[in-house]
Amino acid sequence: MTGCIFCQIIAGTIPASIVFENSTLVVFLDHRPLFPGHCLLVPRQHLATLVDVEPELFALLSAQARQLAIAMEEALEAQGAFLAINNRVSQSVPHVHIHVVPRTKGDGLKGFFWPRQKYRGPEHMEEVRSKLEVGLRKLQQS
Ligand code: AMP
């Protein structure tokens, strides 16, 4: 799509450090990595958000993200990985992408990324759980 920075990377019209590509997806290095080796995995097709991705395609993207996370352990001596998708909120590029970030114990990402909150109490927790259960059921029946 014209104007989409990731479509331009996929088309090769703007430079990127490509790690892997096939007919469905492209993996390249994030140019402002959380840690060296931080990758972005994108479908070739311009799909703005997670909602636009069909489950079959999402399965392919997830399988590739999994492989990449495993490869980081040997290739980059990572001890693990962090996988994330910013869906709409905090999504700065409207072409769906999975962040795959190599992790090492004590690398400091935890505190930075996860400011935790508390439920107001057990009733609040149950209210939220129940809303999610109902919402999921509605979606599965539609
Ligand atoms: P998000 O904020 O989850 O939408 O992530 C978008 C990511 O794209 C950010 O981590 C950016 O650093 C990365 N990014 C944006 N433009 C480029 C580019 N031209 N090459 C590589 N990574 C990019």
* CB-based contacts of 106, cutoff 8 Å, min separation 6: none
Atom of ligand 1 nearest to the CA of 14: 19
pLDDT, mean of each 10-residue run, the chain (142 residues): 94 96 96 94 98 97 96 95 95 98 90 79 96 93 86
Yes or no: say if 19 and 27 are a contact pair by the CB < 8 Å rule: yes
Q: Are 100 and 83 in contact (CB under 8 A)?
A: yes
Measured from CB, residues less than 6 Å from any atom of ligand 1 are 5, 16, 30-32, 40, 86, 90-93
Pocket test for ligand 1, best of 6, 41, 93 (most atoms within 8 A of CB): 93
- pTM attached to this predicted model: 0.92
**What is the radius of gyration, based on Cα positions, of the chain?**
18
Task: List Cβ neighbours of 84 (8 Å cut-off, separation of 6 or more).
Answer: 98, 99, 101
State the residue for tokens 């352990």. 73
